Amino acid sequence: MDDSNSKQDELTRLVRMMIHDLEKPIMVSHWMLDRIERGKIDPRLDRDSQMVRSSMHAMARAGRMVSDLKEIMSTKQLPVHWSRFGASELLKDLSGVFRQFAEAEEIDFQCLDNVMATIESDEDLVFRILENYLYNALVHTDPGGRIVLETRVDNGTIRFLVFNGGNHIPEASLERIFEPEIQLELRRKKQWRGQGLGLAFCKLAAGVLDARVGVENVYQPEGVQFSLSLNIEITRRYINGQYE
């Protein structure tokens, strides 16, 4: 009986994570359509085209997430769809709309695309991990602050890094911040603003992808940096302002 209850609790938690993440692509698509309707964005203009593409990709992800939810209800596991995709294209998709949300909150957002590489993984899951990092950073960054998304490569591993300036995570909670219970505890102490589901999903998804998530307090400048590490095939490095 206890084992059955435990499995049901795990399923409920996974479904809640999926619904939590489903809100983002729907929000992005609604935001984009609203701005097009009000004449704030013109899909025919080059300067707006990347945002429109990002919105279209968001709607496609939402559709795939609904399909995954159906599969989860029968298999009780997170589906993985392996493919090969480019790191640079992923960053463009991530930053296309997020930059607008950051600017609306008067937050400086920088995307530093430091390497062109091919990744073999589940593109949607990698996207959702980084998307959760970015929106977590948005919640914890005050107006006038800064968020940085960047890539670094070392020995066949790519690290996606999301930095946000602001208060550190208490050292005693740092190693367990991906656990919902720790986040809720910090929230009660007014040391955390999140709901606990986004980062928990990041850890779960990284586990099925054989990837690694991490977090550290940084000091120059002061803030918090989350990371996702994946094995890659390096195509070209970005050195001295250009790809070699």
Report CA Rg, the chain: 18
- Altogether, the residues listed in the chain come to a count of 244
- Written as one letter, the residue type at 24 is K
Helix (H, G, I), strand (E, B) or coil at 52: helix
First-to-last C-alpha distance (Å) of the chain? 60
Q: Rounded mean pLDDT of 6-28?
A: 86
Q: How far is CA 103 from CA 35, 99, 107, 135, in A?
A: 15, 6, 5, 13
Average pLDDT over residues 18-30: 88
Residue 153 φ then ψ, to 5°: -125, 140
User: Which one of 24-33, 34-43, 186-195, 211-220 scores highest in mean pLDDT?
Assistant: 211-220
Domains (range + CATH), the chain: 2-243 (3.30.565.10)
> Mind giving me the DSSP string for 103-162?
HHTT-EEEEE--EEEEEEE-HHHHHHHHHHHHHHHHHT--TT-EEEEEEEEETTEEEEEE
pLDDT > 90: percent of the chain: 47
Element (H, E) at 224: strand 222-239
CB 175 within 8 Å of CB 163 = no
Mean of pLDDT over the chain: 86
pTM comes to 0.87
* Long-range pairs for 49-56: beta carbons < 8 A, 24 or more residues apart: 50/92, 50/96, 51/96, 51/97, 51/100, 53/93, 53/96, 54/28, 54/92, 54/93, 54/94, 54/96, 54/97, 55/28, 55/29, 55/31, 55/96, 55/97
Q: What is the distance between the alpha carbons of residues 87 and 196, in angstroms, rounded to a whole number?
A: 27
Instruction: Specify the pLDDT at position 28.
Output: 87
Q: What is the reported pLDDT for 239?
A: 44
pLDDT tens digits for range 158-190:
999 999 998 888 888 788 888 876 656 666 655
User: What is the token pair recorded at 76?
Assistant: 């009780």
